[in-house]
Structure 1
Amino acid sequence: MSFPIARRAAAQGLLGGLIAAGPAMAQGYPSRPVRLVVPFPPGGGVDAVARILAEPLGTALGQPVIIENRAGAGGAIGVDSVAKAPPDGHALSMVSPGNMTAGPVVRPTPYDPLGLGFVSMLARSPLLLVCRNSLPAQDLAAFVALLRRQPDAIRFASGGVGTGTHLAAELMNLRLGVRMVHVPYRGTAPALTDLVAGNVDIFFSDTSAWPMVQQGQLRLLAVSSAATWATSPGTPSVGSAVPDFDISNWYGLVAPPGTPAPVRDRLAAELAAILARAEVATVLGRIGFDPAPMPPDAFGAFVRAELETWRAVVQAANIRAD
């Protein structure tokens, strides 16, 4: 037997052993504390959702869930550390569009997003299409009409090239067949500051823009998701005026490649039960998110579809990493 064949046979034998051991592993899972990697610094939305869920998940599992913030490379460093961990469910990572779907089609990641062990989507919120108060369009329909008449005159802000806030506006360009002018910033905060000052026209912001809307500093034209946003149920969706437009900011949970399905199913079931609690929904609502549990297979299919959407947008807009 040649060395490559022997190595392949050994790998197949190991994989077969892991599959066979899956149910038994799930019965004794977890056998020690679970490490939950948040691939961003403390204080952001991903970190907040992780901290809301960690304690009740630990109680349900019978082992502590310990949060480890491991930031860098747009969230790729933390996810990669879990991708390389033993596939036993004791290392998990929070994920989001930036390190799973929108980001990887612009900047390659050291891991294959579709090769990870999908556990569950956790929470989602729309992006908020906000505009400067002086924009001569009082509602979504008026804005779309203005955009069709003068696309080159509309300047859209983003939190950086290839971010979800960038690709959302490029998706609008693609669906309407127009071309707004991109003005990238280094993050959401400076983009919002310049929008309030009137230096740009619109921004697909995360929900951190909501207090500025409430204070009258910005105007909310629409939300990016087709589903009603509970925080502002009267706000229309972008999709009501733009064909085939339904996107959201979401957070989910993954495990290392090869993590047995029974382990991932157990985690998904516990998380679904936690997210169904009224008090958890209330706390998530305070940061602009709605519970969105999704079983492993459905979560994987969702990520696969979103990757295809953003790949098409990146190709159409000829977006290059900066």
Structure 2
Amino acid sequence: MDKYPDKSVQMVVAYSPGAATDTQARIIAKYAKEYLGQEVVIVNKPGGGGQVGWNYFSSVKPDGYILSAYNLPHIITQPLVGNTSYDIDTFEPIVNWGGDPTVFAVRNDSQMKTLDDLISAAKESPGTMTIGNAGKFVGQHLAILLLENAAEIDVEDIPFKGSSEAISSLLGGHTDILAGNLSDIYRLGSEVRPLAIASEERHPFAPDVPTFKELGFPQVIMSTDRGIAAREGTPEEIIEKLEKSFLALLEDQEFLDEMEKAGADMLVMDRQQIKEEIDRRSKDYKELLKSIDIVD
């Protein structure tokens, strides 16, 4: 165990290259050797809103050489609603690095200027307006379900393999709206027009974007939180070394500057804090899925 790691470490990213999770994981990988002593190599396994990559991760050897980037609420909600070979206990959390509120946005040439325009159009033509997202029962999809419930509208949600495909669909004119991550919307700049953000308060990265809450829909609070996990059963001394190394990395000023340029909002939690957060959120998301009739 003292020699760990004595070769490169893989980190599974369950989304496409170029999407927010991948972009941020690659910045972490760039700095990892200095803190871990070995390269961290990103392995993309996209599909099913993350399920393809995490199903794969559930079968890897628990020796600390294959880690996974995780996304909340995805790894909590997906096993509740579908047949996945992973559940929340598959993941031994190491560190959480970021939070990323959901934003609804349209192309900059869209007729929709406000969230009210979206709701009016949805009421006029139920079930026809298309909203792209990164996959079934990821945070952005849950935000769509929450808005449908709160505003009493019916839209057609279009799940993609990840956010990069959902963005391409919006920019190509194939979908009307994007339910995406703030970090992606931030990087798209003037190509898109954000309509609302699903945070408690306006966000410093996008101070002009109103919250769903202030627009009359306080129920619509959702973000994608990201971190790193080892496989269940990984020896405790390896977990401790990984936690110490990654917590140190997450304080590196050059790293933090690079993450800010990528529109990545830091939300750093240690192993114990994440476990408590997952316990709390597991209860909250079960209640949410019951309230919108997704689970009994």
Q: Which residue, out of 190, 215, 232, partners 1:214?
A: 190
Q: Which residue, out of 92, 95, 99, partners 2:70?
A: 95
- Structure 2 Cα separation of the partners of residues 184 and 148 of structure 1: 15
Report how far residue 233 of structure 1 moved. Answer: 2.9
SS in 2 for 1:104: helix
SS in 1 for 2:80: coil
User: Do the aligned partners of 1:82 and 1:255 also contact (CA within 8 Å) in 2?
Assistant: no
- Structure 1 Cα separation of the partners of residues 125 and 250 of structure 2: 42
What does 1:258-297 align with in structure 2 at a 5 Å threshold?
Answer: 258-297=233-272
Number of positions where the alignment pairs a residue of Structure 1 with one of Structure 2: 286
- Structure 1 Cα separation of the partners of residues 187 and 266 of structure 2: 21
Name the TM-score, length of structure 2 as normaliser.
0.78
Q: Which residue, out of 134, 138, 144, partners 2:111?
A: 134
- Structure 2 Cα separation of the partners of residues 153 and 70 of structure 1: 31
- Residue 157 (structure 1) aligned with residue 127 (structure 2): no
Q: Kindly tell me: are residues 269 and 147 of structure 1, through their superposed partners in 2, closer, same or farther at Cα, counting changes over 3 Å? A: farther
- Structure 2 Cα separation of the partners of residues 162 and 245 of structure 1: 15
Which range moved further: 165-174 or 126-135? Answer: 126-135
User: Do the aligned partners of 1:192 and 1:209 also contact (CA within 8 Å) in 2?
Assistant: no
SS in 2 for 1:127: strand
Q: Which residue, out of 109, 120, 132, partners 2:95?
A: 120
What does 1:21-170 align with in structure 2 at a 5 Å threshold?
Answer: 25=1, 27-97=2-72, 99-131=74-106, 133-135=110-112, 138=114, 152=126, 155=129, 157-159=131-133, 160-170=135-145
Report how far residue 131 of structure 1 moved. Answer: 4.3
1:189 partner amino acid: I
Higher helix share: 1
SS in 2 for 1:184: strand
Report how far residue 212 of structure 1 moved. Answer: 5.4
- Structure 2 Cα separation of the partners of residues 84 and 273 of structure 1: 29
SS in 1 for 2:28: helix
Q: Kindly tell me: are residues 277 and 106 of structure 1, through their superposed partners in 2, closer, same or farther at Cα, counting changes over 3 Å? A: same
Report how far residue 48 of structure 1 moved. Answer: 1.9
SS in 2 for 1:118: strand
Identity among equivalent positions (%) equals 23
1:214 partner amino acid: S
SS in 2 for 1:96: strand
Gaps of 5+ in 1: 1-24
Q: Kindly tell me: are residues 185 and 56 of structure 1, through their superposed partners in 2, closer, same or farther at Cα, counting changes over 3 Å? A: closer
Root-mean-square deviation (CA, aligned residues, Å) is 3.5
Partner of 1:13: none
User: Do the aligned partners of 2:97 and 2:268 also contact (CA within 8 Å) in 1?
Assistant: yes
Q: Kindly tell me: are residues 40 and 203 of structure 1, through their superposed partners in 2, closer, same or farther at Cα, counting changes over 3 Å? A: closer
- Structure 2 Cα separation of the partners of residues 293 and 257 of structure 1: 21
Partner of 2:156: 182
- Structure 1 Cα separation of the partners of residues 280 and 128 of structure 2: 29
User: Do the aligned partners of 1:151 and 1:179 also contact (CA within 8 Å) in 2?
Assistant: no
Gaps of 5+ in 2: none
Partner of 2:225: 250
User: Do the aligned partners of 1:102 and 1:167 also contact (CA within 8 Å) in 2?
Assistant: no
Q: Kindly tell me: are residues 173 and 279 of structure 1, through their superposed partners in 2, closer, same or farther at Cα, counting changes over 3 Å? A: same
- Structure 1 Cα separation of the partners of residues 211 and 246 of structure 2: 28
- Structure 1 Cα separation of the partners of residues 128 and 210 of structure 2: 21
Name the TM-score, length of structure 1 as normaliser.
0.73
User: Do the aligned partners of 1:124 and 1:248 also contact (CA within 8 Å) in 2?
Assistant: yes
Report how far residue 289 of structure 1 moved. Answer: 1.2
- Structure 1 Cα separation of the partners of residues 180 and 143 of structure 2: 10
Higher strand share: 2
Report how far residue 145 of structure 1 moved. Answer: 8.5
- Structure 2 Cα separation of the partners of residues 256 and 246 of structure 1: 29
Higher radius of gyration, 1 or 2: 1
2:156 partner amino acid: H
How big is each residue's C-alpha offset from its partner over 1:138-184, in whole Å with a ceiling of 9 and x where there is no partner? 4x6x569959987958935133543433221112234x262332342
